[in-house]
Copies of this chain bind each other. A is one copy, B any other.
């Protein structure tokens, strides 16, 4: 359940109100990966600096975070970073090609035992400084979302080394080495709790965990491995009083299981009808989503129909934050985003 505390950093925003299931003057909207390659101003910056440097240089990361807010009337900013950045801070060697590639996959008990805890101020100071700079420069007092990868999703990258369609090594790791998997997940849960708490202390006004690979697991394995880990992270963050968001990709079969989590907002992909999600989660949680990123390639009238269908599925009860169901695609036309933001704001 939401702690229901008042945010002391910013005037109440539609986004923060919706996180707490309060009524809003307009339906808030932000867009996963809103700071990114579909924006010409991002591509221009990226042509001069590699991705990793962008994430590690506060002036640049803050600039990229703010770019979409200058162009569109978005209701939230989200830190520009990568879910693997804190693991890099913990000494995991990786490169971005552009997807993260871990040089030495972590699969043994010894490797897991050797992972240090994360000390954010020491290991990822540039992330915290980015947050401070964004808070100083953000227009319209738009709230800033901090984020991290959920423990199981991070495990997938650590065990596999590089992303793949099946993430087979990560899935076989759960079956073949369940004890090692649980130890790694616990370690990651604590590290991400420390990471997100530091982000909140630096000024992040909501915290989001990305379970990008929830869809790899059956219900039984999700409940055994991914759920206890994310619950551990959330429990550590709850006393902070900022809204907590858990995004699951391809989690349609997991909603019953997720309903028991102490989280303010559940974000879902475009395959999960919001009416079903809200019914299963119950009135105690807000929802976030879930337009298909492909809909931004439709002619304007069809895009409006698809957005209206999301609003109709979400219903009129408080507690819906409009978003895509997954990250925006790099070849999206920014004008389509502008049309979408206007449409959502005009249809409360």
Find out whether the CB atom of B273 lies under 8 angstroms from the CB atom of A219. Answer: yes
Interface residues on chain A, size class: 35 or more
**Interface pairs (20), CB distance under 8 Å:** A165-B165, A166-B329, A168-B329, A172-B297, A175-B294, A175-B295, A175-B297, A175-B298, A175-B306, A178-B302, A215-B250, A215-B271, A217-B271, A218-B273, A218-B325, A220-B306, A220-B309, A252-B252, A252-B271, A253-B273
A171 CB within 8 Å of chain B: yes
- The residues of B that contact A176 with a CB separation of less than 8 Å are 297-299
Q: Of B168, B253, B298, which contacts A252 at CB under 8 A?
A: B253
A292 CB within 8 Å of chain B: yes
Report the Cα distance A221→B298, complex, angstroms. Answer: 13
Interface string of A156-186 (1 = CB under 8 A from B): 0000000001101001101110100000000
Residues of A whose CB lies within 8 Å of any CB of B are 165-166, 168, 171-172, 174-176, 178, 215, 217-221, 250, 252-253, 270-273, 276, 292, 294-295, 297-299, 302-303, 306, 309, 325, 329, 331
Q: Of B171, B253, B271, B297, which contacts A218 at CB under 8 A?
A: B271
Determine how many copies of this chain the complex contains: 2
- The residues of B that contact A303 with a CB separation of less than 8 Å are 175
- The residues of B that contact A221 with a CB separation of less than 8 Å are 292
Instruction: Enumerate the 6 nearest inter-chain pairs by beta-carbon distance, A residue then B residue, closest first.
Output: A171-B294, A175-B298, A172-B297, A252-B253, A252-B252, A218-B270
